[in-house]
Amino acid sequence: MRKKIIFIIVIIFIAIVVFFSLRTQKKDAPQSSQSDDRISIVTTLFPLYDFAKNVGGDHVNVTLLLPPGVEAHAFEPTPHDMIMINESDLFVYTGKFMEPWADDMIKSTTNAQLIGVDTSSDIALTQEKNVHEESTQEEEHHSGIDPHIWLDLDNAQRMVDTITAALTQKDPAHASDYHTNATNYKEKLESLDRTYATSLANCTSRQIVYGGHYAFGYLSAKYNLSYETAYGISPDAEPSAHDLSLLIEQVRKDHITTIFYEELLSPKIAETIAQETGTQLRMLNPAHNITKEEFENGTTFITIMENNLQNLTYGLSCK
């Protein structure tokens, strides 16, 4: 209850900041700032950013709210973020289990024309499968729901459809372009899905042991892989000594050869498991976000997933 009251106070404060910031901007902004008539989109996570860019094309200006290199689970929006959202045409997010602050932030904006786009609205959410016995209050708050829906490429296509529908609603004059772009991009996702299915069909091991947050439940279920992780879903989750001991014992028992680690999370836990079991390390990127260097080099959601597949096929000894 106390956390909820504090959150409400913060939202009220942000709303006040936004109100006065917008008044100041309207008085001081140069006329040239109004020349860009593209649809303004603010997205929370990198997959949404990439989806929106591919669907919107030249008709949109897309901003990623999450700064490059920042771990998504630990992210909290700032007053400046609130201003960006308030000034946008579309605010695209994953859903209440990934961004629990999003709904309240949308309600507190002064922009009546803003469309909030919950990309999980047409997707069946699943629960974390390896729930830890020693759960924290924060984990209980997350209800064990896995929000990493984009890692199932069928879900990724549904998210693209949701973004396309919102863009069409906001900008019907370019609806044909949006639908064409979406179709072309979804064909790439479908092709990648087929490659995943073929590449992961015959593997010596079908067990992913992950030294990061619980993120690959959707992917592992789609391609008939088992999945164990040291962490829970919660950003504050920490593996207990008991959990870590059980995981190390399981790696030895099942003759696992590769431990996967998360890109933007300290690899310390994965390294500990690998050192204790004599296994190798490979990265699996849940694609919440990318580094500044990757952002500048034009990394895409598809290239991230292609790299993940390469590491999976190597780590699981797939033929």
Average pLDDT for residues 113-129, to the nearest whole number?
A: 93
Residue 277 confidence (pLDDT): 96
Greater pLDDT, 234 or 189:
189
Residue 133 confidence (pLDDT): 43
Q: Is the pLDDT of residue 198 over 50?
A: yes
Structure tokens at 266: 């300290």
Question: pLDDT for 169-195, tens place per residue?
Answer: 999 999 999 999 999 999 999 999 999
Residue 131 confidence (pLDDT): 45
d(CA 97, CA 17): 26
Structure tokens at 273: 């498991």
| 3-state secondary structure (DSSP) of residue 206 | coil
| Measured torsion, CA atoms of residues 263, 264, 269, 275, in degrees rounded to the nearest 10 | 40
Question: pLDDT for 204-218, tens place per residue?
Answer: 999 999 998 899 999
Q: Identify the band that residue 73 occupies on the pLDDT scale cut at 50, 70 and 90.
A: confident
What's the gap between Cα 34 and its chain centre? 31
Q: What is the Cα gyration radius of the chain?
A: 21
Residue 22 confidence (pLDDT): 43
Residue 43 confidence (pLDDT): 97
Q: What single letter denotes the amino acid at residue 216?
A: F
Total residue count of the chain as it appears in this document: 319
What does residue 117 show for φ and ψ, rounded to 5 degrees? -120, 105
Greater pLDDT, 35 or 265:
265
How high does pLDDT run on average in the chain?
A: 86
Cβ neighbours, 10 Å, residue 288: 25
**Structural domains of the chain, ranges and CATH numbers in brackets:** 2-20+37-177 (3.40.50.1980), 193-315 (3.40.50.1980)
Question: pLDDT for 279-289, tens place per residue?
Answer: 999 999 999 99
Average pLDDT for residues 31-50, to the nearest whole number?
A: 80
Residues 6 or more apart whose CB falls under 8 angstroms from that of 140 comprise none
Q: Identify the band that residue 242 occupies on the pLDDT scale cut at 50, 70 and 90.
A: confident
d(CA 230, CA 47): 24
Residue 35 confidence (pLDDT): 41
Greater pLDDT, 213 or 273:
273
**Cross-strand bridge partners of residue 207:** 226
- pTM here is 0.85
Q: Identify the band that residue 143 occupies on the pLDDT scale cut at 50, 70 and 90.
A: low
d(CA 43, CA 211): 27
